Each structure stands twice: as structure tokens, then as C-alpha cells.
């Protein structure tokens, strides 16, 4: 089986490529623009006879079409995904997340290629902190930021191409991922690398915002399960019952690295900061039999901390510029 993975040198995409090559008999082509959030080094150690990298833009229609022609399936991870960046410069989010998805859909349509589209729980907006409800596949869309709005739009494009043109596609909306190869601008790796550098972690607002965490390896196994068994045109929510507020996450990081649990700073809140995300993955579990292999968030976070401790050469080149950008915004 030949699989084209867009955005496969980014965080979640590279984890999926490692998972795929380690677990399945496949040949993978990665299409990645290699923006600041992606890295060739995230694909290091993979067999060159089974994994190749094409540097290019997912919004380049002729390129995507040419690549789709030689593959059995497309897994579409490519996206601009950092909320803070979407608030200061939304243009790239529209170009990559909407135009890029359009190009992927047109290529899948032309060649009859099986497509799986990766989305986010952020398209549903947020939940109150004391709300017992969780997002389901029936939750109305209510995006809060240019990032989540662009992802919501891309989901709607996929559904329209399935219904109007018969594209063989599925969608998954996943909760917040953590694990290796995540850029240091994101919450968990930023806090880990700050502590490793002797800095105090920075937490938005009061730190009570809740995210539903899932290890990237579990996300990868869910995507493969949906690609193989999912019903065309269906959406599946992916989560591992990992709700924790930001202060709890920071406290676990500090504890693991031998620092006091209150050794952090609160900084100005993000504009439009969603309160809580929570995923109900019952459909995925009951219909397709998927289960997370890393349900213990504390254990998974400990392994992630050790990965960043052991791979300083991977994240160090990006750290200074990332912190400088946050300091300009007082964060």
C-alpha cells in the first residue's frame, strides 16, 4: 500500500509516519512545505526505501495531483495550527487549511483516491468548566479563532466533496495531542523546555482552561483504524479521556523535573481563549473497536519530558526565537 501523508514532517504527521512504518507494510510519501513547525529531523531513522520526502506546498494543485496519482490513500495532516499565530496573521491559515484542503480533495476526486482528513475538536468551540457534556459527532460547529474557523471550513469542504462528487473520504476530529517532535511554541513542549532551561513556565490567564490530552501515538493508531475500517462520509471523534487543566499539567512537569509545583508565572490571557475541550470517542470505540494504548496521561507526559530531555539538539535551534516572540507579546 502506498500512502501520501500531507504535513508528514510536522508534529502529528511525523508521529503518524513513524507509527505507520513501524506497524504496517506500507510505502509512505511525505508532502511537507517545511515551514518553521516542520523538520526533516522528525523523520530521521526511517527507512529510505519506504519513506520519501517531497518538499512542496499542499496548496500547489498540480503537485498534489501528480502525487495522488501514484498512491492508494491520502492522509491529510497539513495545516497551520497555532492559535496565537492565527490571531496575529490569519492569512496562512486560510491558504493552507482551506485552499490546501481544496487541492487535496480535487486530487482525490480526480484519481479516486481514498482520503482521510485530520481535523480538531476546536471546530466545536468550547464548553463551560462545570459542564458535564463532551463533544460528539453531533455537536454544532462554533469555532472561536481564525485557526478553528479555517479547520471548520475544511471539514465542510470534505463533506461537500463526499456528497457532491463521491470522494471516498472520512474525517476525524481529535483532542489536544502531546508527545515527541512537537514544536516548542506549543503548550507542553514550551513548559518542558522552559524548565529544562531553568526558566519558570508561563501559563495563560488563571490556568484553569481544560484540554483533553491524547498521546500522538494513540492518535496515529486511531487514524489508521479509521482509514482501514471507517465508513465513507463519516466523522469520528478521537480522544483518550485525558481532561486536565493547564495548572495541573504544569504541576506534573515541575514535579517530574524536581521543581516546586507553584514555580510558574501567570501571564496575560490569549484573546478568545476557549475554556474547555472534552471528547466523547464512543462512536470510534464501539463501531471500530479502537482503544488508546496510553490512557495514563501522567505516564505519557513523563515519557514525553524524557524525550525532550534526551533530544535537545532537535528543539534547541527553535527555542530562543520562540521565547523572544512570546516576550514581545508579554507571554
SS3 244: strand
The confidence score (pLDDT) of residue 69 equals 97
C-alpha cell at 219: 492518535
The confidence score (pLDDT) of residue 272 equals 85
d(CA 43, CA 162): 32
In the residue annotation, 287 being an active-site residue is answered as no
**Residue from 80, 122, 243, 280 carrying the catalytic annotation:** 122
In the residue annotation, 84 being an active-site residue is answered as no
Residue with cell 504496517: 24
CA distances from 166 to 74, 85, 110, 234, 311 (A): 16, 35, 11, 13, 44
pTM of the model: 0.96
Q: What one-character DSSP code corresponds to residue 112?
A: T
In the residue annotation, 121 being an active-site residue is answered as yes
CATH code reported for the domain at 2-181+214-240+274-295: 3.40.50.720
SS3 184: coil
From the centroid of its chain, how far is CA 122?
11
The confidence score (pLDDT) of residue 82 equals 87
Contacts 24+ apart (CB under 8 A), 297-301: 297/213, 297/240, 297/242, 297/244, 298/252, 300/178, 300/179, 300/213, 300/215, 301/178, 301/188, 301/213, 301/249, 301/252, 301/253, 301/256
pLDDT by residue for the chain (331 residues), tens only, comes to 999 999 999 999 999 999 999 999 999 999 999 999 999 999 999 999 999 999 999 999 999 999 999 999 999 999 999 888 999 999 999 999 999 999 999 999 999 999 999 999 999 999 999 999 999 999 999 999 999 999 999 999 999 999 999 999 999 999 999 999 999 999 999 999 999 999 999 999 999 999 999 999 999 999 999 999 999 999 999 999 999 999 999 999 999 999 999 999 999 998 889 999 999 999 999 999 999 999 999 999 999 999 999 999 999 999 999 999 998 888 8
At residue 211, φ and ψ (nearest 5 deg) are -125, 150
d(CA 142, CA 258): 40
Query: Domain boundaries in the chain?
Result: 2-181+214-240+274-295
**Residue from 32, 57, 80, 121 carrying the catalytic annotation:** 121
**Residue from 32, 84, 147, 178 carrying the catalytic annotation:** 147
Amino acid at each position: 500500500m502506498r500512502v501520501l501523508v500531507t504535513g508528514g514532517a510536522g508534529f502529528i504527521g511525523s508521529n503518524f509516519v513513524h507509527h505507520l512504518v513501524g506497524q504496517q507494510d506500507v510505502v509512505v510519501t511525505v508532502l511537507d512545505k517545511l515551514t518553521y513547525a516542520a523538520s526533516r529531523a522528525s523523520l530521521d531513522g526511517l527507512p529510505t526505501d519506504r519513506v520519501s520526502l517531497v518538499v512542496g506546498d499542499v496548496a500547489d494543485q498540480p503537485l498534489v495531483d501528480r502525487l495522488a496519482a501514484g498512491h492508494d490513500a491520502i492522509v491529510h495532516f497539513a495545516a497551520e495550527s497555532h492559535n496565537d499565530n492565527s490571531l496575529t496573521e490569519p492569512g496562512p491559515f486560510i491558504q493552507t487549511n482551506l485552499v490546501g484542503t481544496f487541492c487535496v480533495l480535487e486530487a482525490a476526486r480526480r484519481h479516486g483516491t481514498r482520503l482521510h482528513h485530520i481535523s480538531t475538536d476546536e471546530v466545536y468551540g468550547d464548553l463551560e468548566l462545570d459542564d458535564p457534556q463532551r463533544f460528539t459527532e453531533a455537536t454544532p460547529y462554533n469555532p472561536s479563532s481564525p485557526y478553528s474557523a479555517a479547520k471548520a471550513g475544511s471539514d465542510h469542504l470534505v463533506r461537500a466533496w463526499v456528497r457532491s462528487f463521491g470522494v471516498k473520504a472520512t474525517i476525524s476530529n481529535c483532542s489536544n495531542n502531546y508527545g515527541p517532535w512537537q514544536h516548542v511554541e506549543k503548550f507542553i513542549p514550551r513548559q518542558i523546555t522552559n524548565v529544562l532551561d531553568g526558566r519558570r513556565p508561563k501559563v495563560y490567564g488563571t490556568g484553569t482552561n481544560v484540554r483533553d490530552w491524547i498521546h500522538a501515538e494513540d492518535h496515529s493508531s486511531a487514524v489508521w483504524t479509521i482509514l482501514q475500517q471507517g465508513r465513507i462520509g463519516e466523522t469520528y471523534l478521537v480522544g483518550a479521556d485525558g481532561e486536565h487543566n493547564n495548572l495541573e499539567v504544569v504541576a506534573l512537569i515541575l514535579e517530574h523535573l524536581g521543581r516546586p509545583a507553584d514555580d510558574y508565572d501567570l501571564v496575560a490571557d490569549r484573546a478568545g481563549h476557549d475554556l474547555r475541550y472534552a471528547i466523547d470517542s464512543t462512536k470510534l470505540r464501539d463501531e471500530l473497536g479502537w482503544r488508546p494504548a496510553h490512557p495514563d496521561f501522567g505516564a505519557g507526559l513523563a515519557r514525553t519530558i524524557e524525550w525532550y530531555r534526551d533530544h535537545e539538539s532537535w528543539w534547541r535551534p527553535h527555542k530562543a526565537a520562540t521565547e523572544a516572540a512570546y516576550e514581545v507579546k508579554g507571554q
